[in-house]
Structures are given as C-alpha cells and as structure tokens.
Amino acid sequence: MSQHCTRCSAYRSSGLYRSETFALCERCAQEYRRALALYDQTVRQFTEDQLLTPAEDEELTSYRRYLGLSDSDVDHLDPVIWRARWMYRISTGSLPVVESPVLLGRNEHCHFATGANIMTEIRGRIYVSGSRGASFRIMRGVTLRTGGSRGYSAPVSELQFVGEGHFLITTKRTLFVGTQQLDVPHRKLLSVTPYTDGLELHYTGQRRRILFQLHDSDFAFAMLWVSAQREL
C-alpha cells in the first residue's frame, strides 16, 4: 500500500504531499486518489450510524496511516468525524461546551449555538411523513431516534416566519436571541419533535406552536435531549 516512487516519497516526507499533489508522478497521484477514496468510504461507513466510538476513532487513525495519508490530506472530513465523535459522547451523556454568542447567566454554559429561523404555524398540518431513521440509546431507558428522513417540518406556506437569530442550548435552557427573544428553561420543556430541518418545542405555558428551522437538527436534538434530562 502507498508504494510511492523515490521522487514522490521525497515530496511526502517534506510534508508538502497535499499542496504538491500536482507534482506527483501519474502513478503516485493515482495511488493517492485511490487512498483518499478508500479512506473517505471508510469514514462514511463508520459514521453511517451517526456515532463514532473511541474504538472506531482509533481504527480510522491507523487506517489513515496505513494508507499513507496525513491529517491535512483528509481534513475535509474533519466536520463529519467531529460530529460523529460528539454524537457518541452525547449518547454517553457528555456534552460539548462552546463559546456563546450572547451573554449567559452565571454558572450557565453553552452546549450548542447556531443560526436559526423561528417559525410559527399558521394553519393545521405541519408534518409531512418521512421514513424511520436509525435509533440509538441516549440514556438508560430512552431511545433517541435519529438519522433517516422524518419528513420536513412543514410546507413553507403553512409556516410563518417570525424572525432569525441565534439558537442556543445551554445547561439551563433553550434560548433564541434575534429579532425576538424566546427563553425555554429545561424544567418547562415537555417534549421536542425533531424534523429533518428543525425542531419543534413543546413547553409549559406555551401559547402557539414554535419551530426552529436550523442546520443539523439531529445534533441539536440529541444535545437538547441530554441537556434537559440532566437539568431534571
């Protein structure tokens, strides 16, 4: 594997493998592309269930080395790996702490922050059916279903755009800060419905349906679920 000729091996050991790919001879360039494709495929396989266990993580690293690829050769896959690594950690009850774009309370930490739209329902139906996704156990006795298509939250005509801003999950609450503000403490949260493109929150004292349209709702859902359970 990765039998590079002497000339190309020199490029590799100089640490310029990636940036100097054009300088590889045709045979080595072909091998390089093949190694990339194999690694890429393996990462997709390992993260298909959304979770990357520490054992799989290690296996990936040794496979990458075996293929003769460096960290920077495969850094385009970092977001995929980072996410799956955290999905696994979340499933074991640990949550990332990230910098908050807004000021939080004392002893309050931010687990997740993303740009989001806040929407409210203007007519009846909001769910378009989707297929079942894979399930994984997130805490004892609770199965969190994620992946696959659960359908889209709603046809746009049936949702009213309310505003845009930051969507945050903290140790204490779900917070939306933007053109309007919404604050849902975990203790008031009754349930969360995940959709392909967002989350719907159900909570005590709610007056209308609230949906957040955001990127990677599976990740946000897993995090909110664990964070809310901790606070209870």
Q: 220, 199 in Cβ contact below 8 A?
A: yes
Kindly tell me which residue out of 11, 12, 17, 28 binds Zn ion, with binding defined by CB under 5 A. 28
User: Which C-beta is closer to Zn ion: that of 10 or that of 97?
Assistant: 10
According to CB under 5 A, which residues from 165 to 194 bind Zn ion?
A: none
Binding string, 200-219, against Zn ion, x = CB under 5 A?
--------------------
**Could you say whether residue 8 binds Zn ion (CB under 5 A)?**
yes
Q: Which stretch binds Zn ion (CB under 5 A): 2-10, 44-52, 142-150, 171-179?
A: 2-10
**Could you say whether residue 5 binds Zn ion (CB under 5 A)?**
yes
Shortest spacing between CB 90 and Zn ion, in angstroms: 43
Q: At what angle do helices 78-91 and 26-46 cross, to 10 degrees?
A: 20
**Could you say whether residue 35 binds Zn ion (CB under 5 A)?**
no
Q: Long-range contacts of range 2-9, CB-CB < 8 Å, 24 or more positions apart? A: 2/31, 2/35, 2/66, 2/67, 2/68, 3/31, 4/28, 4/31, 4/68
Interface residues with Zn ion (CB under 5 A)? 5, 8, 25, 28
